[in-house]
Amino acid sequence: MIYGLTVESILTGALVFVRVSGILFALPFFGDSPTPLQVRLLLAVAIAFMIQGVLPSDWIRSFPSDAIEFGVLVVREVCVGLFMGFVGRLTFDGIIMAASLVGYQMGFGTADLFMPDADAQMNAFTATHRVIMMLIFLSLNLHHMYLDGIARTFELIPAGAAVPSKELGGFLIHATADVFRIAVQLSAPVLVALMFANTALGLVARTVPQINVFTMSFPVGFFVGLIVYASCLPFFPQWADTHFELSRVQLIQTIQGLRP
Query: What three-state secondary structure class fits 113?
Result: strand
In a domain, 2, yes or no: no
Cα–Cα dist 246/260, whole Å: 24
Which run of H or of E encompasses 52? helix 37-53
Q: Mean pLDDT, 10 residues at a time, over the chain (260 residues)?
A: 64 84 81 79 87 79 75 84 84 85 74 52 76 87 85 84 83 87 88 87 80 77 87 89 86 85
Structural domains of the chain, count: 1
- For residue 200, what are the domain limits? 7-257
DSSP code for 119? T
Q: Convert 170-218 into a string of H (helix), E (strand) and C (coil).
A: HHHHHHHHHHHHHHHHHHHHHHHHHHHHHHHHHHHHHHCCCCCHHHHHH
In a domain, 139, yes or no: yes
In a domain, 117, yes or no: yes
- 168 phi/psi in degrees, rounded to 5: -65, -35
In a domain, 173, yes or no: yes
In a domain, 105, yes or no: yes
pLDDT at residue number 45: 87
DSSP code for 111? S
In a domain, 28, yes or no: yes
pLDDT at residue number 109: 61
In a domain, 1, yes or no: no
Q: What is the pTM of this model?
A: 0.76
pLDDT at residue number 110: 57
In a domain, 236, yes or no: yes
